[in-house]
Chains A and B, each alone.
Chain A
């Protein structure tokens, strides 16, 4: 207790100090604009801030896709203390990355990155020069996100479509706990996923990253737009879920369920399937994801929500096995379509790392399907036997564990780069196709 009392003034002092120590400038405008596609090569890059800034000679660095520096020495703009600029060499057609650092008058440094294109589309920030690819922690975070999505969407679907009006008070309590944990997890993990992806592009040490400008990433990338929509959506789902719990109105769960189903499209629109291939691949991706979250979330709910009540579990098992079949059919159909869409050649499946990972995932899906079929054909008719009913929980836990492993592989696949489609013949104008993939070397 005495230690705590001693620490209290120190903590108060620590809170007072940042005000004096962390002053920084915020970028307000850039020329060229963030993500701009310019018809003519610019001669300078100008950054305007909300307060006076200085820059070091290498404070603004502009790189082409090969990592060649195409900018000169950064300097202040005469007559405008809040702006800095750098002159550029004559830029040929191509994509460019601007990395900047600026010092506010009180000696504190802000950082950022953005891209632009000269007569080509600007690359996504995740493909800026110097950006790194997804790390193992990002795979884990995306996996957790998928699990949260399954808990929310699958949990709500289970409550509305499987349990319907038959939930006991204990099952109701467990449902709200499980789905509540899922929606809170979706909000928190969503923030972590966004910050990790932004850090890939910014490539800053932690303390500098705290003051890194995330706006270009949040508002000018598909991933950022999906993050914005999904955070807002899940906050609303959380509010609806809470109000349903508070008032006991099950009808409030319907909008929460439909909204969480729709929010899955955010992930689809930010995925490889949305790379200039029309709406059908994105739609297939959404169907695949939605059916999978309903199936896996339903399995988890079957094991956790109705675990203590044998009669309710029997009813829920019967009803769930009736909707699990169509869900699995949707997962498989959409998955097969996306595989054909994604792999230009069949041997990509075993010659490329991405293909081999997909084969492992397909193997696990086959195992889960066999397990589900065993439940449907063998267990379901024998549910009244006490010995079978006693072992059901363990069997369900096994199937759910396989399903959660599938989500891990799905997370790694989503973060990985699928094989590139053969490039269409060049247009007569010589303008590069809009789905050109920029292979930027990784240099931290």
Chain B
């Protein structure tokens, strides 16, 4: 019933890659041009919200430790919150600019959850490396949507946010359950299966 962790990583990597590419397209052409078709404004927030909903099955399936369960639950909730806040802003149902802070909050909480739930050091195995890498990218990358919340027209902040998501997706695509990283695999991690 429980799929291998690497399959789940790849599934979310695909979703996050689409998210990053949509954000990148918006950053390249500019918000005004991107939103000439009204439905395009809804694309990335809806995808983010959907990824949050999809994280709940992961939360209930991967219960091999309390800290894993709590980390997946945190991701599910902050992704849904950030997606919902952006959808509310785009549709006009929410008007207060403070709702824009939900996206940097999502990145910061997600990054912290990656770092806290990964039990092993950086070079223990590839999946451990990926978790640490994603954690730090998200934590540091929260600066970009935070800046964008105050300067929505800045292409630096918009582009930076998009590239953060693309970088996270690439890192997640490289994840394997038991595989070496830079030629290093801790003997305690088990036998390389791929």
Binding site for B on A (CB under 8 A): 15-16, 18-20, 22-27, 50-52, 82, 104-106, 108, 110, 187, 191, 195, 198, 209-215, 217-219, 227-228, 231-232, 235-236, 238-239, 242, 245-246
What is the bound-complex CA distance between A227 and B60, given in angstroms?
Answer: 8
Binding site for A on B (CB under 8 A): 1, 49, 53, 56-57, 59-61, 63-67, 69-70, 73, 76-77, 80, 84, 87-88, 91, 93, 112, 115-116, 118-122, 124, 128, 132, 135, 139, 178, 186-190
Task: Take A16-B115, A239-B49 as given contacts and tell me if A105 and B65 are in contact as well, using a CB distance cutoff of 8 Å.
Answer: no
Contacts of B70 in A (CB 8 A): 191
What is the bound-complex CA distance between A326 and B137, given in angstroms?
Answer: 57
Q: Which of A19, A211, A215, A218 contacts B115 (CB 8 A)?
A: A19
Query: Is the contact region of chain B dominated by helix, strand, or loop, or is it mixed?
Result: helix
- Residue on B with the closest CB to A206? B66
Please name 15 further chain A to chain B contacts, defined as beta carbons within 8 Å, in addition to the given A214-B66, A218-B60, sorted by A numbering.
A19-B118, A19-B119, A22-B120, A24-B65, A50-B190, A52-B187, A210-B67, A214-B63, A232-B60, A238-B80, A242-B49, A245-B93, A246-B88, A246-B91, A246-B93
- CB <8 Å contact, A18 and B93: no
Q: Which of B80, B128, B186 contacts A19 (CB 8 A)?
A: B128
How many residue pairs, one in A and one in B, have C-beta atoms under 8 Å apart?
108
- CB <8 Å contact, B118 and A18: yes
- CB <8 Å contact, B64 and A214: yes
Contacts of B93 in A (CB 8 A): 245-246
Q: Can you list 18 A-B contacts (CB < 8 A)?
A: A15-B135, A16-B115, A19-B122, A24-B119, A26-B64, A51-B190, A52-B190, A210-B65, A210-B67, A211-B119, A212-B66, A213-B63, A213-B65, A217-B63, A232-B56, A232-B60, A242-B80, A246-B84
**How many whole Å from A143's CB to the nearest CB in chain B?**
22
- CB <8 Å contact, B65 and A218: no
Contacts of B139 in A (CB 8 A): 15
**How many whole Å from A299's CB to the nearest CB in chain B?**
29
- CB <8 Å contact, B76 and A51: no
- CB <8 Å contact, A15 and B116: yes
What is the bound-complex CA distance between A228 and B53, given in angstroms?
Answer: 14
What is the bound-complex CA distance between A218 and B122, given in angstroms?
Answer: 30
What is the bound-complex CA distance between A246 and B70, given in angstroms?
Answer: 28
